Amino acid sequence: MRRFQVKSVVALAMTVAALGVTACGDDGGSAADVMDDTSATSGDTSASDALAEDSFAPADTAVAADTAVAADTAVATDTAVATDTAVATDTATPQDTATTDTEPGPAPVVAPGCIDGQYDETLPDDTASVTALANAYSAASYTTFIDQVLATRYPVGQYLVARGVAEYTQQSCVAIFAQGSTGTAKQLLGQLSTIVHECGHFLDGARGTFSGNTYVFRPDLAITCDGGDSRDRFGNTFARSEITKDEYDALWPNDFYKDTYLVGAGSEQGFNMVAEEAVQYVNSLATDWAFRDNLGSGVSISARDGILTFLFYIERYLRWARLNDAQAHQFLLSTPCWRRVILTIWGRAWLYIDESEGISSLGIDDAELLDLVLRPELLEEIDRVRAAEGCP
């Protein structure tokens, strides 16, 4: 029987006062929406953690606190690896049992002549050894360890964490999201995708403007777009919760991201935060792919599920806008900045989805989600963005 454990679901589950966040005026959602990466593991671990709500108090550069679960002030420990004191042999990945598939794969989902198909970045070095660093690990210097192992395997992640700490000065994303996971090197390695994900939010929030959102994709590429929040939040789009009214909602009853992002507190946010979460779920997958040799035997996590879910949300949002909110659709497709964000997310996501294809440890329901994302009528929504961009 499959059981799920939500991994590292603190998502700033403390009160605003406890974190010292100063609430500012509504800026249309420029600040980073701090969320846990809601990765889940299957196997022998127990479902002991509660999924945090995505509540968001708009502020010009402040990261919002999640007041929905204020009693949970610590990052959950991954009980599957908490007792180990050494990293699994990092030159082998026995859990990466790629399934043999003799059928042809799907047609390319990026366009070579457009922004998405031209996106590239240096992939993590998943074979670089971190054994020496793990063997020398000291909980007293856990921040140095995080920096060193990311530098070794995933320099983009190292940049996001380092700059997230340096530029968002109200609180440390590392201190918050490493809580409860610093006991051993293996345990902390298992928390890295959450730390990179959340520090990415902090960095985007720090660089956001009063009316706009900044998306940092890599050290040399950041895009800032204005007006992407919902109209109720002084933007030009609609609440992301609206897509739960479409015909695709019933096609994915197992969507355990839905309650966090599309229902309840925070679901009033607009397209800007759909894009923000998609950016960070790519970072989650990249980190989990880079450090997948740290996973226990037989354990699977939702690394692929997260970004596939948000590609599904982006497609559905664009379709709902086109069919039900022509003004919002026109805004997104007629604004070069938002077209560039959408296509950059799309291209970067598929870089890591393709790289992680067939690695059973990095997905739970990813095959089913992939089928949904690849529905022709949904892929047409991305084609429309390309057409608006003038791509061949």
The CA distance from 204 to 104, in Å, is 39
Query: Can you state the angle between helices 271-290 and 155-167, rounded to 10 degrees?
Result: 130
Task: Compute the distance between CA of residue 329 and CA of residue 320 in angstroms, rounded to an integer.
Answer: 9
Confidence (pLDDT) at 59: 37
CA 338 to chain centre: 18
Amino acid 53: pLDDT: 33
Nearest to 294 by CA among 18, 80, 60, 44: 80
Read off the tokens for 43.
Answer: 């196997």
List the pLDDT tens digit at each of the 392 positions of the chain.
Answer: 222 233 333 333 333 233 333 223 333 333 333 333 444 444 433 333 333 333 333 333 334 333 333 333 333 333 333 333 334 444 434 445 444 444 544 456 999 999 999 999 999 999 999 999 999 999 999 999 999 999 999 999 999 999 999 999 999 999 999 999 999 999 999 999 999 999 999 999 999 998 899 999 999 999 999 999 999 999 999 999 999 999 999 999 999 999 999 998 999 999 999 999 999 999 999 999 999 999 988 999 999 999 999 999 999 999 999 999 999 999 999 999 999 999 999 999 999 999 999 999 999 999 999 999 999 999 999 999 999 999 99
How far is the C-alpha of 310 from the C-alpha of 299, rounded, in Å?
A: 23
pLDDT at 320: 98
CA nearest neighbour of 29 among 62, 70, 3, 1: 62
Neighbours of 306 (CB within 10 A): 29
C-alpha distances (whole Å) from 101 to each of 98, 104, 106, 272, 358 are 9, 8, 12, 37, 9
CA gap 200, 217 in Å, rounded: 9
The pLDDT assigned to 296 comes to: 87
pTM: 0.78
Selection from 8, 388, 5 nearest residue 198 by Cα: 8
Distance between CA atoms of residues 203 and 338, nearest Å: 19
pLDDT at position 107 is 53
